[in-house]
Amino acid sequence: MATKTEVAAAARALFADQGYVATTIAAIAEAADIPAQTIYSAFGNKAAILRSIAWEVAGTLDIDRAHEEALAQPDPRDGLRRAANIQRRQFEQMYDVIDVYQEAARTDPDIAHDLQTIAANRERAFRRHIDAIASHLAPGVSVDDGVAIYLTLVLPEVYRTLVIEHRWTTDSYENWLANALITQLLRSP
Amino acid sequence: MATKTEVAAAARALFADQGYVATTIAAIAEAADIPAQTIYSAFGNKAAILRSIAWEVAGTLDIDRAHEEALAQPDPRDGLRRAANIQRRQFEQMYDVIDVYQEAARTDPDIAHDLQTIAANRERAFRRHIDAIASHLAPGVSVDDGVAIYLTLVLPEVYRTLVIEHRWTTDSYENWLANALITQLLRSP
């Protein structure tokens, strides 16, 4: 319903601007011009608003299918380039939400639990990809090493450092990430 | 004095274990078996205890001199290997303190200010290094790009992912970091 969309949009802006902990339902109500009681009825609590924002954005990205397509590429370099593109799209669309999730997880056990589930799903997807290209890994890089390196290069803090703090374009980030994944994971051609 | 050392040791263990926000002076007093009033007299507040821990550990590392020696290496690869060793020693000695600082910065403006100063000093040291090896940078990598890549690879979250979460040895971390810095920053020899 339109109200939920308006509340989510107002909450997302406030979370990104002032942080999750500092944002009250009252402030969201004021920003969205919707009574706080309506927000409580529609969502229940602040954590539920954040979850609803995350699900909404993540749903538009179709990440699982993109990962399957990436690992199915005949050339493992093409697969890692696609993997870099997945991360770029994900961070472009929802870096702010990921950042707020990490903040909220420090104080909200439900959000912390969500984040563990999301991290486990991410790691599983990366491991499937590394398993699929295991015969192409660089000498000395085991599947476990490959997963750890993959997880490292796609950290939100890496995106933050390059794109948010150092104003790289998301194109440059994607190219850097693709090259870093290829150089660090694969045998030289 | 011995009391300050005991308080710092007790506080460091509690911060690492339960987090900064959740650790009270009363809990530190109990763990150190020293009256809370003595702790208030010696330090003032919780932020001052954390600062004192950080200064104590950082003082033993002599980071500034190590950076000067690194950037003065005739072979830029050796310089980056030394840079990787600096980060390894720093994280080995005080990853827990860095992590607590980042948590504390979210709620304590003085600690947040400290962290900004530390980040600025780090970036300045890295920039001096990249400036010193500017003629060896890979094609397409500007000094600014080099600083951003350096900052990215030495993120505490990278250390956390590889060493804390994936149980790499600090030797493996140092080798990985040295190779990543060399491959991403320098022209191929």
What is the per-residue pLDDT for B60? 86
Chain A CB contacts of B166 under 8 Å are 144, 147-148, 151
Q: What is the per-residue pLDDT across A127-165, written as a single tens digit (0 to 9) for each?
A: 999 999 999 999 999 999 999 999 999 999 999 999 999
**Tens of pLDDT along B7-44?**
999 999 999 999 898 899 999 999 999 999 999 998 99
Best mutation target among B143, B150, B152 (most A Cβ atoms within 10 Å) is: B152
pLDDT tens figures, B72-123: 999 999 999 999 999 999 999 999 999 999 989 988 999 999 999 999 999 9
pLDDT at B1 over 70: no
CA nearest to B99, candidates B42, B129, B57, B43? B57
The count of other CB atoms within 10 Å of the CB of residue B33 is: 8
**Crossing angle for the helix pair B46-61 and B2-18, to the nearest 10 degrees:** 100
B76 vs A59, B93, B145, CA distance in Å? Answer: 46, 26, 17
A112 in contact with B at a CB cutoff of 8 Å? no
Rounded to an integer, what distance in angstroms lies between the CA atom of residue A135 and that of residue A187? 9
Q: Provide the sign of the torsion angle of the four alpha carbons B6, B11, B53, B167, taken in this order.
A: positive
Tokens 């959000």 label which residue?
A111
Q: How far is A72 from chain B (nearest CA, A)?
A: 26
Does residue A15 have a pLDDT over 90?
Answer: yes
Position B181 pLDDT exceeds 90? yes
Q: Which domains does chain A have, with CATH numbers?
A: 2-49 (1.10.10.60), 62-185 (1.10.357)
Question: What pLDDT score was predicted for residue B189?
Answer: 75
**What is d(CA A105, CA A99) in angstroms, rounded to the nearest whole number?**
10
CA distance A99 to chain B (A): 13
What is the arithmetic mean of pLDDT over B114-139? 95
Q: Which of B123, B171, B132 is nearest to B150 (CA)?
A: B123
- The beta-carbon neighbor of B180 closest among A103, A106, A184 is A184
Distance from CA of B66 to the nearest CA of A (A): 24
